[in-house]
Homo-oligomer: A and B are copies of this chain.
Amino acid sequence: MSTITIKSPADFHVHLRQGSLSQLIVPHVRKGGFDVAYVMPNLKPPITNTELALKYKADLQKIDPNVEYLMTLYLSPELTPDEIRKASNAGVVGVKSYPRGVTTNSDGGIESYEAYYPIFEAMQEVDMVLNLHGEVPSDANANIHVLNAEPTFLPHLFKIHEAFPKLRIVLEHATTRAAVEAVKKCGPTVACTITAHHLALIVDDWAGQSWNFCKPVAKFPDDRQALRDVVKEGHPRFFLGSDSAPHPPHAKSTSSPTHACAAGVYTSPILLPLVAHLLESFSALDKLEGFASTFGRAFYKLPIDESTNKVATLRRAPPGTLVEGEYNLGDESLVPFWAGKEIGWILSDSE
Protein backbone atom coordinates (compact mmCIF):
# COMPACT_ATOMS: atom_id res chain seq x y z
CA MET A 1 0.00 0.00 0.00
CA SER A 2 1.58 3.27 -1.08
CA THR A 3 -1.29 5.74 -0.62
CA ILE A 4 -4.18 5.99 1.82
CA THR A 5 -7.16 8.32 1.55
CA ILE A 6 -9.12 9.42 4.58
CA LYS A 7 -12.37 11.30 4.28
CA SER A 8 -12.35 14.50 6.30
CA PRO A 9 -10.07 13.68 9.21
CA ALA A 10 -11.41 15.09 12.47
CA ASP A 11 -9.39 15.86 15.60
CA PHE A 12 -11.82 15.61 18.48
CA HIS A 13 -9.61 17.27 21.10
CA VAL A 14 -7.20 20.08 20.34
CA HIS A 15 -5.81 23.18 22.05
CA LEU A 16 -5.67 26.18 19.72
CA ARG A 17 -4.61 28.79 22.30
CA GLN A 18 -4.84 32.57 21.84
CA GLY A 19 -2.93 35.52 20.42
CA SER A 20 0.32 35.09 18.55
CA LEU A 21 0.61 31.42 19.49
CA SER A 22 -2.77 30.85 17.88
CA GLN A 23 -1.49 32.48 14.68
CA LEU A 24 1.27 29.88 14.54
CA ILE A 25 -0.70 26.79 15.42
CA VAL A 26 -4.21 27.15 13.94
CA PRO A 27 -2.85 26.60 10.40
CA HIS A 28 -1.25 23.41 11.67
CA VAL A 29 -4.67 21.76 11.93
CA ARG A 30 -4.85 21.58 8.14
CA LYS A 31 -1.10 21.12 7.80
CA GLY A 32 -1.51 17.96 9.90
CA GLY A 33 -4.23 16.74 7.52
CA PHE A 34 -7.35 17.69 9.48
CA ASP A 35 -10.62 19.26 8.47
CA VAL A 36 -12.32 19.44 11.84
CA ALA A 37 -11.02 20.69 15.19
CA TYR A 38 -12.87 20.10 18.42
CA VAL A 39 -11.59 23.09 20.37
CA MET A 40 -10.74 23.05 24.07
CA PRO A 41 -11.94 26.00 26.19
CA ASN A 42 -9.07 26.27 28.74
CA LEU A 43 -7.96 29.76 27.80
CA LYS A 44 -7.17 32.68 30.06
CA PRO A 45 -9.90 33.60 30.86
CA PRO A 46 -11.63 30.26 30.16
CA ILE A 47 -14.44 30.04 27.59
CA THR A 48 -17.32 29.91 30.05
CA ASN A 49 -20.22 31.20 27.98
CA THR A 50 -21.68 31.32 24.49
CA GLU A 51 -20.49 34.80 23.75
CA LEU A 52 -16.88 33.96 24.51
CA ALA A 53 -17.14 30.75 22.48
CA LEU A 54 -18.48 32.58 19.43
CA LYS A 55 -15.86 35.28 19.75
CA TYR A 56 -13.16 32.63 19.99
CA LYS A 57 -14.56 30.77 17.00
CA ALA A 58 -14.49 33.98 14.97
CA ASP A 59 -10.86 34.55 15.97
CA LEU A 60 -9.96 31.06 14.80
CA GLN A 61 -11.87 31.46 11.55
CA LYS A 62 -9.94 34.63 10.83
CA ILE A 63 -6.72 32.65 11.04
CA ASP A 64 -7.92 29.72 8.93
CA PRO A 65 -11.49 29.79 7.58
CA ASN A 66 -11.16 26.34 6.05
CA VAL A 67 -11.34 24.35 9.27
CA GLU A 68 -14.62 23.40 10.92
CA TYR A 69 -14.27 24.51 14.54
CA LEU A 70 -16.43 22.69 17.04
CA MET A 71 -16.64 24.84 20.13
CA THR A 72 -16.88 23.90 23.80
CA LEU A 73 -17.56 25.66 27.09
CA TYR A 74 -15.51 25.33 30.27
CA LEU A 75 -17.64 23.79 33.01
CA SER A 76 -17.68 26.24 35.91
CA PRO A 77 -20.13 27.64 38.45
CA GLU A 78 -20.87 30.44 36.01
CA LEU A 79 -22.69 28.04 33.71
CA THR A 80 -26.52 27.80 33.91
CA PRO A 81 -29.10 25.57 32.21
CA ASP A 82 -30.27 28.64 30.29
CA GLU A 83 -26.76 29.27 29.07
CA ILE A 84 -26.56 25.65 27.94
CA ARG A 85 -29.69 26.09 25.81
CA LYS A 86 -28.34 29.33 24.44
CA ALA A 87 -24.97 27.72 23.64
CA SER A 88 -26.62 24.78 21.94
CA ASN A 89 -28.72 27.09 19.79
CA ALA A 90 -25.55 28.93 18.83
CA GLY A 91 -23.93 25.70 17.68
CA VAL A 92 -21.63 25.09 20.64
CA VAL A 93 -21.13 21.32 20.70
CA GLY A 94 -19.84 20.39 24.13
CA VAL A 95 -18.88 21.28 27.67
CA LYS A 96 -15.46 20.37 29.03
CA SER A 97 -14.95 19.43 32.64
CA TYR A 98 -11.51 19.84 34.21
CA PRO A 99 -10.80 18.58 37.69
CA ARG A 100 -9.14 21.38 39.61
CA GLY A 101 -5.42 21.80 39.12
CA VAL A 102 -4.60 18.72 37.07
CA THR A 103 -3.52 20.34 33.80
CA THR A 104 -2.84 23.64 31.98
CA ASN A 105 -5.21 26.41 33.08
CA SER A 106 -7.40 24.18 35.21
CA ASP A 107 -7.34 26.22 38.39
CA GLY A 108 -11.01 26.92 37.84
CA GLY A 109 -11.74 23.20 37.47
CA ILE A 110 -14.47 21.42 39.32
CA GLU A 111 -14.36 19.58 42.61
CA SER A 112 -17.77 17.95 42.76
CA TYR A 113 -19.91 16.71 39.88
CA GLU A 114 -23.27 16.60 41.63
CA ALA A 115 -23.32 20.37 41.84
CA TYR A 116 -23.48 20.31 38.04
CA TYR A 117 -26.38 17.89 37.65
CA PRO A 118 -28.77 20.67 36.58
CA ILE A 119 -26.29 21.56 33.85
CA PHE A 120 -25.94 17.93 32.77
CA GLU A 121 -29.74 17.67 32.74
CA ALA A 122 -29.98 20.63 30.38
CA MET A 123 -27.15 19.25 28.23
CA GLN A 124 -28.94 15.91 27.96
CA GLU A 125 -32.11 17.71 26.87
CA VAL A 126 -30.40 19.68 24.12
CA ASP A 127 -28.04 16.81 23.23
CA MET A 128 -24.78 18.56 24.02
CA VAL A 129 -21.69 16.47 24.74
CA LEU A 130 -19.91 16.33 28.10
CA ASN A 131 -16.13 16.07 27.70
CA LEU A 132 -14.45 14.73 30.80
CA HIS A 133 -10.83 15.22 31.70
CA GLY A 134 -10.85 11.95 33.61
CA GLU A 135 -8.35 12.45 36.40
CA VAL A 136 -8.70 13.26 40.06
CA PRO A 137 -6.16 15.60 41.66
CA SER A 138 -3.15 14.00 43.33
CA ASP A 139 -3.47 13.53 47.07
CA ALA A 140 -0.54 11.90 48.82
CA ASN A 141 -2.60 11.16 51.94
CA ALA A 142 -4.98 9.07 49.83
CA ASN A 143 -2.14 7.57 47.74
CA ILE A 144 -3.45 9.29 44.64
CA HIS A 145 -0.74 10.28 42.18
CA VAL A 146 -0.29 10.94 38.48
CA LEU A 147 -0.28 7.25 37.64
CA ASN A 148 -3.53 6.24 39.29
CA ALA A 149 -5.37 9.55 38.85
CA GLU A 150 -7.31 8.21 35.87
CA PRO A 151 -8.42 4.83 37.25
CA THR A 152 -9.43 6.63 40.45
CA PHE A 153 -11.64 8.95 38.38
CA LEU A 154 -13.61 6.19 36.66
CA PRO A 155 -16.32 5.83 39.33
CA HIS A 156 -17.29 9.43 38.52
CA LEU A 157 -17.76 8.44 34.88
CA PHE A 158 -20.02 5.53 35.83
CA LYS A 159 -22.02 7.68 38.22
CA ILE A 160 -22.65 10.50 35.74
CA HIS A 161 -23.49 7.99 32.99
CA GLU A 162 -25.95 6.22 35.28
CA ALA A 163 -27.59 9.50 36.29
CA PHE A 164 -27.75 10.75 32.69
CA PRO A 165 -27.89 7.70 30.46
CA LYS A 166 -28.82 9.72 27.37
CA LEU A 167 -26.15 12.36 27.90
CA ARG A 168 -23.34 11.84 25.43
CA ILE A 169 -20.08 11.71 27.35
CA VAL A 170 -16.53 11.52 26.05
CA LEU A 171 -13.80 10.36 28.38
CA GLU A 172 -10.92 12.39 26.99
CA HIS A 173 -7.38 11.18 26.28
CA ALA A 174 -7.70 7.80 27.97
CA THR A 175 -4.36 6.33 28.99
CA THR A 176 -5.13 3.16 30.93
CA ARG A 177 -6.50 -0.32 30.41
CA ALA A 178 -8.95 0.48 33.20
CA ALA A 179 -10.32 3.44 31.26
CA VAL A 180 -10.69 1.44 28.06
CA GLU A 181 -12.58 -1.27 29.91
CA ALA A 182 -14.75 1.29 31.71
CA VAL A 183 -15.82 2.97 28.47
CA LYS A 184 -16.54 -0.37 26.85
CA LYS A 185 -18.81 -1.27 29.77
CA CYS A 186 -20.85 1.90 29.34
CA GLY A 187 -23.70 2.27 26.92
CA PRO A 188 -23.58 3.73 23.40
CA THR A 189 -23.70 7.30 24.72
CA VAL A 190 -20.20 7.03 26.19
CA ALA A 191 -17.12 7.33 23.98
CA CYS A 192 -13.43 7.90 24.45
CA THR A 193 -10.68 9.85 22.75
CA ILE A 194 -7.14 8.56 22.45
CA THR A 195 -4.17 10.73 21.57
CA ALA A 196 -1.42 9.87 19.11
CA HIS A 197 1.32 10.25 21.69
CA HIS A 198 -0.32 7.87 24.16
CA LEU A 199 -0.17 5.21 21.45
CA ALA A 200 3.60 5.76 21.42
CA LEU A 201 4.76 6.58 24.96
CA ILE A 202 5.02 4.80 28.30
CA VAL A 203 6.20 6.04 31.69
CA ASP A 204 9.83 5.24 30.88
CA ASP A 205 9.67 7.74 28.02
CA TRP A 206 8.90 10.73 30.23
CA ALA A 207 11.11 9.67 33.13
CA GLY A 208 13.82 12.33 32.91
CA GLN A 209 12.48 13.57 29.57
CA SER A 210 10.17 16.51 30.10
CA TRP A 211 9.38 16.89 26.39
CA ASN A 212 7.37 13.68 26.66
CA PHE A 213 5.59 14.88 29.78
CA CYS A 214 1.87 15.51 29.43
CA LYS A 215 -1.29 15.14 31.48
CA PRO A 216 -2.54 12.51 31.77
CA VAL A 217 0.97 11.07 31.88
CA ALA A 218 1.68 8.09 29.66
CA LYS A 219 1.24 4.95 31.72
CA PHE A 220 2.57 1.39 31.73
CA PRO A 221 3.30 -0.84 28.72
CA ASP A 222 0.19 -2.89 29.47
CA ASP A 223 -1.93 0.26 29.40
CA ARG A 224 -0.48 1.32 26.06
CA GLN A 225 -1.24 -2.17 24.78
CA ALA A 226 -4.89 -1.75 25.79
CA LEU A 227 -5.08 1.53 23.85
CA ARG A 228 -3.48 -0.06 20.81
CA ASP A 229 -5.74 -3.09 21.05
CA VAL A 230 -8.94 -1.08 21.14
CA VAL A 231 -7.82 0.93 18.12
CA LYS A 232 -6.84 -2.24 16.29
CA GLU A 233 -10.20 -3.76 17.18
CA GLY A 234 -11.82 -0.83 15.39
CA HIS A 235 -14.15 -0.16 18.30
CA PRO A 236 -16.40 2.66 17.08
CA ARG A 237 -16.57 4.46 20.42
CA PHE A 238 -12.80 5.00 20.54
CA PHE A 239 -11.45 7.69 18.26
CA LEU A 240 -8.73 10.27 17.85
CA GLY A 241 -8.49 13.40 19.96
CA SER A 242 -4.91 14.59 19.70
CA ASP A 243 -4.85 16.75 22.83
CA SER A 244 -2.18 18.56 20.84
CA ALA A 245 -0.98 21.15 23.34
CA PRO A 246 1.75 23.60 22.34
CA HIS A 247 4.18 25.04 24.84
CA PRO A 248 7.24 27.07 23.86
CA PRO A 249 10.61 25.30 24.13
CA HIS A 250 11.62 27.18 27.27
CA ALA A 251 8.47 25.94 29.00
CA LYS A 252 9.07 22.34 27.90
CA SER A 253 12.70 22.35 29.01
CA THR A 254 13.52 21.74 32.65
CA SER A 255 16.33 24.14 33.30
CA SER A 256 15.71 24.93 36.94
CA PRO A 257 15.35 22.71 40.00
CA THR A 258 12.47 24.85 41.18
CA HIS A 259 10.36 24.94 38.00
CA ALA A 260 8.70 21.90 36.49
CA CYS A 261 8.03 21.89 32.78
CA ALA A 262 4.65 22.51 31.19
CA ALA A 263 2.50 19.43 30.59
CA GLY A 264 1.69 18.87 26.94
CA VAL A 265 2.83 17.26 23.72
CA TYR A 266 2.46 19.05 20.39
CA THR A 267 1.35 16.88 17.50
CA SER A 268 -0.95 19.03 15.30
CA PRO A 269 1.35 19.73 12.34
CA ILE A 270 2.21 16.04 11.81
CA LEU A 271 -0.93 14.50 13.20
CA LEU A 272 -2.36 12.37 10.40
CA PRO A 273 1.03 11.05 9.20
CA LEU A 274 1.98 10.33 12.81
CA VAL A 275 -1.25 8.47 13.52
CA ALA A 276 -0.78 6.45 10.33
CA HIS A 277 2.81 5.70 11.30
CA LEU A 278 1.82 4.57 14.78
CA LEU A 279 -1.19 2.53 13.67
CA GLU A 280 0.99 0.78 11.14
CA SER A 281 3.51 -0.06 13.88
CA PHE A 282 0.88 -2.22 15.55
CA SER A 283 -0.81 -3.47 12.39
CA ALA A 284 -3.90 -1.27 12.66
CA LEU A 285 -3.44 0.89 9.57
CA ASP A 286 -6.72 -0.43 8.15
CA LYS A 287 -8.50 1.25 11.07
CA LEU A 288 -7.08 4.70 10.30
CA GLU A 289 -10.19 6.13 8.67
CA GLY A 290 -12.42 4.92 11.46
CA PHE A 291 -10.12 6.13 14.20
CA ALA A 292 -9.27 9.50 12.66
CA SER A 293 -12.60 10.36 11.08
CA THR A 294 -15.73 8.25 10.84
CA PHE A 295 -16.04 6.86 14.38
CA GLY A 296 -15.82 10.27 16.02
CA ARG A 297 -18.02 11.84 13.38
CA ALA A 298 -20.69 9.21 14.01
CA PHE A 299 -20.60 9.78 17.75
CA TYR A 300 -20.73 13.55 17.30
CA LYS A 301 -23.45 13.26 14.63
CA LEU A 302 -21.35 15.05 12.03
CA PRO A 303 -21.85 13.16 8.79
CA ILE A 304 -19.30 13.71 6.06
CA ASP A 305 -20.48 16.01 3.29
CA GLU A 306 -18.83 14.50 0.22
CA SER A 307 -19.26 17.77 -1.69
CA THR A 308 -17.44 20.01 0.78
CA ASN A 309 -15.34 17.91 3.11
CA LYS A 310 -11.70 17.39 2.33
CA VAL A 311 -10.15 14.04 1.51
CA ALA A 312 -6.68 13.65 2.92
CA THR A 313 -4.23 11.50 1.01
CA LEU A 314 -1.22 10.00 2.68
CA ARG A 315 1.61 8.52 0.71
CA ARG A 316 4.51 6.33 1.76
CA ALA A 317 7.38 8.59 2.83
CA PRO A 318 10.79 8.03 1.27
CA PRO A 319 13.01 6.02 3.63
CA GLY A 320 14.81 8.29 6.06
CA THR A 321 12.06 10.96 6.08
CA LEU A 322 12.35 12.82 9.38
CA VAL A 323 9.79 14.99 11.16
CA GLU A 324 10.55 18.70 10.98
CA GLY A 325 12.25 19.95 14.15
CA GLU A 326 10.77 23.37 14.72
CA TYR A 327 8.01 25.75 13.65
CA ASN A 328 8.36 29.52 13.99
CA LEU A 329 6.22 32.60 13.51
CA GLY A 330 7.47 35.92 14.81
CA ASP A 331 8.61 35.36 18.37
CA GLU A 332 6.71 32.09 18.67
CA SER A 333 8.57 28.84 18.33
CA LEU A 334 7.41 25.25 18.74
CA VAL A 335 9.07 21.87 18.60
CA PRO A 336 6.65 19.08 17.70
CA PHE A 337 6.48 15.59 19.11
CA TRP A 338 8.48 13.10 17.04
CA ALA A 339 10.81 15.95 15.90
CA GLY A 340 13.83 14.53 14.12
CA LYS A 341 12.44 11.00 14.14
CA GLU A 342 11.71 8.90 11.10
CA ILE A 343 8.11 8.75 9.91
CA GLY A 344 6.62 6.33 7.41
CA TRP A 345 3.86 8.48 5.87
CA ILE A 346 3.46 12.03 4.59
CA LEU A 347 0.51 13.98 3.28
CA SER A 348 0.44 13.90 -0.48
CA ASP A 349 0.29 17.69 -0.70
CA SER A 350 3.44 17.94 1.42
CA GLU A 351 6.94 18.04 0.04
* A interface with B by C-beta (< 8 Å): 138, 140-148, 202-204, 206-213, 217, 220-222, 224, 252-263, 335, 337, 339-340
Contacts and interface: CB of A to CB of B under 8 A. Distances in A.
A255 B253 contact: yes
Nearest to A142: B221
Given A140-B221, A221-B140, A257 B147 contact: no
A208 B258 contact: no
B220 A147 contact: yes
A255 B249 CA distance: 8
A123 B289 CA distance: 62
Given A206-B208, A253-B254, 10 more contacts: A138-B204, A141-B221, A143-B222, A207-B213, A207-B217, A207-B260, A208-B210, A211-B254, A211-B257, A257-B340
Given A220-B145, A263-B208, A339 B140 contact: no
Nearest to A140: B221
A194 to B, nearest CB: 18
Contacts of A337: 257
Task: Name A's interface SS.
Answer: loop
Nearest to A264: B208
Given A209-B261, A221-B140, A260-B209, A146 B204 contact: yes
Contact of A147 (B147, B208, B224, B339): B147
A221 B138 CA distance: 10
Contacts of A256: 211
Contacts of A222: 143
Contacts of A146: 203-204, 207
A144 B335 CA distance: 30
Max chain B Cβ within 10 angstroms of own Cβ: one of A144, A207, A254: A207
7 contacts: A140-B204, A145-B203, A145-B204, A146-B207, A147-B147, A148-B220, A210-B254
Contacts of A202: 140, 145
A49 B257 CA distance: 37
A220 B148 CA distance: 9
A279 to B, nearest CB: 18
A29 B257 CA distance: 22
Nearest to A210: B254
A258 B322 CA distance: 13
A254 B145 contact: no
Contacts of A213: 207-208
A107 to B, nearest CB: 17
A163 B138 CA distance: 42
Contact of A253 (B140, B142, B253): B253
Q: 8 tightest A-B contacts by CB? A: A140-B221, A211-B257, A209-B260, A208-B213, A210-B254, A208-B260, A143-B222, A254-B254
B147 A209 contact: no
A156 B259 CA distance: 38
